[in-house]
């Protein structure tokens, strides 16, 4: 890993990046972000770090909106050289507080996929509730269907979250009530500041400039877990709700969790029936636009080295 990093920076200093960049010039890098705020736990990108990333792509790449990339590709199968697209998922308030001012200052387009049912509802995402329960618990261990777990161990959140993804909403609620008992923490009625979501008014303000607001379902449930009326509510009612509030068409759908097993043919049929233009996932591939109902993206974390590997096309060389 350290050797890789040294070789990486030698390559950067000696101009080797130009070769990678040139090799990847027809490969659009669609970046996927979630949280940007000052945070010591490493769960969010610091606004200063995000500004540094955005300045770098503005200087060295062709940053366009997802909408523009897709419409150009649909028209003549062409992709502008050195294209980078910025997207954000979920609908947290920190987008309005930290991302929007930076994108406005730099005049960079960004797509924001919001979970329609959560806007202003004062509800919070269950993965965040899980984080809260583990953070505030004084207990050392808990027993779960996956065995005994240490509350403060690094991977505990992930192990429990993975288990929750396999449960129906009802089963997950039962599981959470047992977790609260075991961890001796009660979830507050009010959403804590860190997990606040945007309001319709803020979305309306942003959608009038450089931000495209698109849909990330109604309740952030996995699309592979719903069908029939429930699927229509997640895909179609969510779209109508955003359109009614913003008075603008919604054309993009971002699959919650976004891995290959998290959506299926029935999901895609529902998207087509609701007149979406595309569906977007949460993993990268060598040909991001090959399937317009499974557009692929690069998750971006807090590591600047990994960010540079993505934007200069070094990660591209490892994809199939
Ligand atoms: Zn999400």
Ligand 1 centre distance from Cα of residue 90 (Å): 5
What is the per-residue pLDDT for 248?
Answer: 95
pTM for this one?
A: 0.91
Ligand 1 centre distance from Cα of residue 139 (Å): 29
Ligand 1 centre distance from Cα of residue 261 (Å): 15
Ligand 1 centre distance from Cα of residue 89 (Å): 5
Ligand 1 centre distance from Cα of residue 216 (Å): 7
Which tens digits make up the pLDDT trace of 252-263? 999 999 999 999
Which segments in the chain show pLDDT lower than 50? Answer: none
Which tens digits make up the pLDDT trace of 91-106? 999 999 999 999 999 9
What is the per-residue pLDDT for 40?
Answer: 67
What is the per-residue pLDDT for 120?
Answer: 80
| Contacts by residues 273-277 (CB-CB < 8 Å, ≥ 24 positions apart) | 273/236, 274/232, 274/235, 274/236, 274/239, 275/251, 276/215, 276/235, 276/239, 276/250, 276/251, 276/252, 277/70, 277/251, 277/252
Backbone angles phi, psi at 273, to 5 degrees: -65, -30
What is the per-residue pLDDT for 13?
Answer: 66
Ligand 1 centre distance from Cα of residue 12 (Å): 33
What is the per-residue pLDDT for 286?
Answer: 95
What is the per-residue pLDDT for 259?
Answer: 96
């Amino acid at each position: 890993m350290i050797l890789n990093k040294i070789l990486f920076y030698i390559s950067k200093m000696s101009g080797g990046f130009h070769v990678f960049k040139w090799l990847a010039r027809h490969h659009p890098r669609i970046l996927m972000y979630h949280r940007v705020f000052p945070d010591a736990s490493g769960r969010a990108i610091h606004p200063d770090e995000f500004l540094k990333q955005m300045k770098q792509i503005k200087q060295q790449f062709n940053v366009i909106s997802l909408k523009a990339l897709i419409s150009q590709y649909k028209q003549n199968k062409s992709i502008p050289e050195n294209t980078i697209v910025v997207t954000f998922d979920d609908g947290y308030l920190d987008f309005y507080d930290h991302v929007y001012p930076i994108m406005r200052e730099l005049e960079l387009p960004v797509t924001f996929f919001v979970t329609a049912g959560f806007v202003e509802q004062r509800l919070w995402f269950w993965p965040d509730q899980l984080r809260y329960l583990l953070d505030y618990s004084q207990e050392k261990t808990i027993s779960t269907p996956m065995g005994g777990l240490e509350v403060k161990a690094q991977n505990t959140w992930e192990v429990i979250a993975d288990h929750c993804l396999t449960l129906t909403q009802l089963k997950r609620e039962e599981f959470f009530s047992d977790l609260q008992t075991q961890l001796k923490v009660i979830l507050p009625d009010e959403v804590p500041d860190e997990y606040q979501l945007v309001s319709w008014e803020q979305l309306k303000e942003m959608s009038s400039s450089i931000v495209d607001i698109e849909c990330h379902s109604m309740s952030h449930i996995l699309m592979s877990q719903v069908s029939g009326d429930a699927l229509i509510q997640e895909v179609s009612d969510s779209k109508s709700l955003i359109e009614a509030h913003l008075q603008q068409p919604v054309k993009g759908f971002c699959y919650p969790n976004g891995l290959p097993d998290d959506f299926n043919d029935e999901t895609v049929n529902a998207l087509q029936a609701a007149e979406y233009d595309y569906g977007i996932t949460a993993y990268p591939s060598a040909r991001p636009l090959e399937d317009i109902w499974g557009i692929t993206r690069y998750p971006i974390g807090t590591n600047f080295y990994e960010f540079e590997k993505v934007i200069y096309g070094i990660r591209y060389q490892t994809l199939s």
